[in-house]
Amino acid sequence: MRRQRGVSLIGWLIVLIFVGLVALIAIRVVPVYVEAFTVRSILQSLQDERSLAGADRNAVWRTLQKRFEINDVKSVGRDNISVQAVSGGTQVTVSYETRFPLIANIDGIASFTIRATIRH
């Protein structure tokens, strides 16, 4: 009698279900991190913005709001942004949480805190 080799039909189904779940979670999580990287790049571009050196909070907010709108950032609002004067510049902090659906009634939550300093 010969021994059977390979994966059975049930084994293949388990592998396909596992790969499908990993792909589904990746499809749901990747856009959240892409948006966070976009916020990070916007804040890094603020560091090079000479026109914002010494600007007030409203000017910084208007600039951020325009860039968030252009880049389709929807998770960050005015309440998530803090602008503080520090030695040598202005520190802008964006701190926010994003809730996203994973599977059925299971949600994921991602928290981000991103800082940039606008030098005078």
Domain assignment of residue 28, yes or no: yes
What total of structural domains would you count in the chain? Answer: 1
Query: Does 32 reside within a domain?
Result: yes
Residue 51 domain-assigned (yes or no): yes
* 2 assigned to some structural domain: no
Res. 4: pLDDT tops 90: no
Judge whether 15 lies within some domain.
yes
H or E element: which one contains 97? Answer: strand 89-103
Mean pLDDT is lowest, of 25-29, 50-54, 71-75, 103-107, for: 50-54
User: Could you tell me if residue 55 is inside a domain?
Assistant: yes
Flag whether pLDDT at 54 surpasses 90: no
Confidence of residue 120 (pLDDT cuts 50, 70, 90): confident
Domain containing 33: what range?
A: 9-119
Cα–Cα separations (whole angstroms), residue 105 to 25, 28, 31, 101: 13, 14, 19, 7
Res 5: pLDDT: 79
Which pLDDT belongs to residue 36?
97
pLDDT at 77 (0 to 100): 92
Residue 107 lies in a domain: yes
Which one-letter amino acid corresponds to residue 82? S
The greatest distance separating any two alpha carbons of the chain, rounded to the nearest whole angstrom, comes to: 84
- Answer yes or no: is 47 within a domain: yes
User: Which residue shows structure tokens 């390979």?
Assistant: 6
The DSSP code sequence of 49-96 is -GGGTT--HHHHHHHHHHHHHHTT--S--GGGEEEEEETTEEEEEEEE
Write down the pLDDT at residue 44: 94
Q: pLDDT tens across 89-112, in order?
A: 889 999 999 999 998 899 999 999
